[in-house]
Amino acid sequence: MAAPVAPMTERAVRNVVFVDGVRTPFGKAGPKGIYAETRADDLVVKVIRELLRRHPELPPERVDEVAIAATTQIGDQGLTIGRTAALLAGLPKSVPGYAIDRMCAGAMTAVTTAAGGIAFGAYDVVIAGGVEHMGRHPMGEGVDPNPRFLADRLVDTSALVMGQTAENLHDRFPGITKDRADAFAAASQAKYDAAVKAGKIGPEFVSVATRSADKGWGLATADEPPRPGTTVEDLATLKTPFRPHGRVTAGNAAGLNDGATGCLLADEETARELGLPVAMRLVGYAFAGVEPEVMGVGPVPATEKALARTGLSISDIGLFEVNEAFAVQVLAFLDHFGIADDDPRVNQWGGAIATGHPLASSGVRLMTQLAHQFAERPDVRYGITTMCIGIGMGGTVIWENPHFEGGDK
């Protein structure tokens, strides 16, 4: 007769907090970019070391996991980059690590996956982030899509070209004109420039030593992609590479970029024990699938799902960080929720159209900016970070401001 099975111990879900986030300055992909001769894993190493440098109160051996995302996991972005970067950064060999991929939402998924482990009690402290060196590893490098995708008409051919999916989104929502997209893009550049001049963007940077065979050593201290002073008139003259007489241009979309991000996550009680700051509390998150041909609409159902699961409504959200893969994608999100194009709650320090979008790293950039905004806005209780994801998905994370002092939102 088998021995009786002991009942499972009940577990309380623990509060997960965002302690701090940092990032490298973002560079332009390609042979002239600041990171053209810098390894992707070295960018991650800089981020991990900076997090530990900024928080000497955290004993390195207390880090339970390192989760690092990359969309193209080959070359210097391969070999289980979470583990290899942890070793290269000098973390104890007892600290494990892994790699993760959800295309543009890689770092976001690294955060939510690690947060689940913290909430369950498997981890106390985690480093999560992402890297993309699009100059060394263009999106899709080395992939071999199954021919059934097209042969069985599972997706349209445009589904695998992100710019074409943005044109498809313009088709679906004809009210989102090129003029609107250009106006949104110009505003993003202006807001980003103002934020840099005001010192809002920059404190999260870790400087990176760069090397060029022609120019020698340099130091990356600022984002390379922004174009301050961009006007709607400037953008109106740009070509539409994805469709003749189209609406998507290099000016109203994020560019091809290199960069890395990382953050510290912890159980709230552990953070208090160690003296770690609490910048945000995780409220909930959701990912949703959509038609791959219009992947840019993904943040809409992801946000609807996240709000429903947390019992919140869109009116409860006081700050939005929406990744600007394409202006049309953000505008589709705003239109769905009845939010004006120039609503001050949305991307108040600009977005990826200005700063760049190194794919798998961008989710933590959004989170870090929201955390800094929370510190300035005790009148805001909830904020979201949301983004569209290639192959037809969206992801949304809802955060609570620990500095909230009362009010409606």
Per-residue model confidence as pLDDT tens digits over 259-276: 999 999 999 999 999 999
Q: What is the pLDDT of residue 79?
A: 95
Which amino acid is present at 96?
Answer: P
Is residue 258 classed as helix, strand or coil in its secondary structure? strand
- Among 41, 8, 25, 16, CA closest to 126: 16
% of residues, the chain, pLDDT over 90 = 92
Domain contains 148: no
Q: What is the pLDDT of residue 7?
A: 62
Give tens-digit pLDDT for 287-336.
999 999 999 999 999 999 999 999 999 999 999 999 999 999 999 999 99
Identify the band that residue 3 occupies on the pLDDT scale cut at 50, 70 and 90: low
Domain contains 159: no
CATH of the domain at 301: 3.40.47.10
Domain contains 58: yes
Domain contains 349: yes
pLDDT over 90 at 391, yes or no: yes
Catalytic-residue membership of 263: no
Catalytic-residue membership of 388: yes
From residue 273, give the alpha-carbon distance in Å to each of 7, 57, 114, 276: 31, 10, 20, 8
Distance CA 57, CA 116 (A): 24
Q: What is the pLDDT of residue 2?
A: 58
Sign for the CA dihedral angle at 302, 307, 310, 315 comes to positive
Give tens-digit pLDDT for 157-186.
899 899 999 999 999 999 999 999 999 999
Q: How far is CA 288 from the centre of its chain?
A: 16
Catalytic-residue membership of 104: yes
Domain contains 144: no
Catalytic residue among 104, 133, 263, 372: 104
Structure tokens at 309: 């699961």
Q: Provide the whole-model pTM.
A: 0.95
Residue pointed to by tokens 């890689």:
106
The pairing of strands 16-23 and 280-289 is antiparallel
Counting the structural domains of the chain, the total is 1
Q: What is the pLDDT of residue 250?
A: 97
Catalytic residue among 133, 137, 170, 357: 357
Compute the average pLDDT of residues 207-236. Answer: 95
Domain contains 340: yes
What domain range is 316 assigned to? 16-135+253-399
Catalytic residue among 133, 170, 372, 388: 388
Domain contains 333: yes
Sign for the CA dihedral angle at 182, 184, 186, 188 comes to negative
